[in-house]
Amino acid sequence: MKPKVVIAGLGETGTELVQRLCLDWDVIGIDSDPEAVERVSCRDVEGARTVTYAGDASSGLVLRRSGIQDVHAAVACCGSDEVNLEFLRILRAEFEVRNLYALMYSLEWEEQYSKEGIETISQDHACAAILESRVQRGQKVAQGVGLGEGEIIEVEVLPNSSVIGRTLAELGPRRWLIGAVYRGKSLIVPHGDTVLRPDDRVLLIGDPRILPSIATLIRTGESEFPLQYGVHIAGMYSEDIDDVLDEAAYLIENTRAELFEMIACQADEGRLMRLVEVCSNKGIPNEISCSAGNDMDSLLASMKTRDIGVLMLPPEPMSFSAKIGLKTTKTSRILDKATSPVLISRRTHPYRRILIALAEYPFHATAAQLAIDLGRMVSADLHLGVVHQPEIVAGTEMQGEIDQCKNEIENLAGMYHAKIETMTLEGNPIHQIVQQSEHFDLIVMPYRRGRTSFLTRPNVGLNIIHRSESSVLVMPY
């Protein structure tokens, strides 16, 4: 036997629903308009069983006469939320029907439907979602699935998207994930090492506040800094954390970041409250959060569960012992564990001139992506500094790899119609970039985790981070 469904309201929506369900369900249709009932009766599909009744769907007597005993589900699309609600209340109270659905015409009735445990489809939301998917070509927003609030989006990867060839793990998803990849007629269940290709259709699931921007990132490669990683600008509690507040406020005002989060581990409560007051006086949205323990490792481990788009640190001097690898700096220990971009703040904002430092190879392209995204958002002049070391030190093969990387960064900027000026520097990469930092507001560079320093082979990235005259935005990898 087929399951039985009752549909109240045989207008255009109800009639179409009858036609879609009648092959797999025994359908009972009810409408107060005899002509509407007659139209449905005349459109019976061969092999289907549809019974229609003329009458008031909100009347218990009409419902009993229509033979709705043993109904599995009920759908209300009567053109009136008041009638819909009464019809479904009767079915639940008198006939114990549990699967109740309504086409909601006014959002003012949403709370009442919810209190009655009735699942609704908003006419306004559904139409808006369909129109949105037409306007934003390449995106489809799911309605009637999950929460129905835009937390599920299907997007197509365009041929010029910069995410092509990158693994999902490299994209660093936060508050979102890729649930499926459709390639041609195949379904791919994604893993961290899945690589996206042109024309892939990608199913995104995540926070509806950020998912449209993530969809843009996947579709075209463009992102809205720093949403790919999170919406908080975070600072780790220290005596000089006040020094990063002005630059944090600049980022919150000019990017998609939402607030300043101070992460502390059993810090002095009085000082924390004073810092909250300072943030409030500066107009900086803020919150305080604490890690489980009072050691650096537990604090850093807790950061992985936080919504951090950028972690900000005050500058730290670099001792001679750290330069030759006998000691590690606090900054290097943080960079070795950080999973979000890290900004060493020297308060050289606003960012009018940004330098991408191509000082050593390999160069992780995510750093260039960050610089281009941020530069476009704050309307900064972008520059690429390519350092060529003497051939006797680097070798011809290394120079060739650096030049190839330079071309890739220039091509990436071209994809986003971002003008970038390239300058070639000769000599020691640390000295060259540190010297150039005097003329720039921000240095952007990758940082390879676990890299050690030696007297004869210093850690180039770490030295630049500690010795730069300007703020440095670092992408650990």
Tens of pLDDT, residue by residue over 290-313, are 755 556 676 677 666 778 999 999
Read off the pLDDT band of 44 (50, 70, 90).
low
Out of 26-30, 173-177, 365-369, least confident range? 173-177
Cis ω for the linkage preceding 198 (within 30 of 0): no
CATH-assigned architecture of domain 232-314? 3-Layer(aba) Sandwich (3.40)
Domain spans, the chain? 4-125, 138-220, 232-314, 335-476
Pairing of strands 353-358, 381-388: parallel
Average pLDDT over residues 380-403: 82
* Bigger pLDDT: 209 vs 342: 342
Q: Is residue 117 predicted with pLDDT exceeding 60?
A: yes
* Bigger pLDDT: 134 vs 418: 418
* pLDDT number for residue 379: 94
* pLDDT number for residue 448: 92
* pLDDT number for residue 70: 86
In terms of phi and psi (left: phi > 0; alpha: psi -120 to 50; beta: otherwise), the region of 283 is: left
Read off the pLDDT band of 158 (50, 70, 90).
confident
* Cα–Cα distance for residue pair 39/188, rounded to 1 Å: 45
* Cα–Cα distance for residue pair 206/214, rounded to 1 Å: 9
Nearest C-alpha neighbor of 136 from the set 205, 208, 215: 215
Average pLDDT over residues 324-328: 82
Read off the pLDDT band of 394 (50, 70, 90).
low
* Bigger pLDDT: 237 vs 185: 185
Average pLDDT over residues 208-232: 81
Query: In this structure, what are the phi and psi dihedrals at residue 34, rounded to the nearest 5 degrees?
Result: -60, -35
* pLDDT number for residue 426: 92
**Helix axis angle, 391-415 to 365-378, nearest 10°:** 50
Residue 309's SS3 state is strand
* Bigger pLDDT: 178 vs 415: 178
Read off the pLDDT band of 237 (50, 70, 90).
confident
Find the radius of gyration of the CA atoms of the chain.
30
Read off the pLDDT band of 134 (50, 70, 90).
low
* pLDDT number for residue 149: 62
* Bigger pLDDT: 368 vs 457: 368
Average pLDDT over residues 213-226: 80
Has domain 138-220 been given CATH number 3.30.70.1450?
A: yes
* pLDDT number for residue 172: 72
Has domain 335-476 been given CATH number 3.40.50.1010?
A: no
Read off the pLDDT band of 146 (50, 70, 90).
low
What DSSP element (H or E) covers 205?
strand 201-206
Average pLDDT over residues 363-388: 92
Fold observed for domain 4-125:
Rossmann fold (3.40.50)
Mean residue pLDDT across the chain: 86
**Token pair recorded at residue 448:** 């390879």
335-476 matches 232-314 in CATH topology:
yes
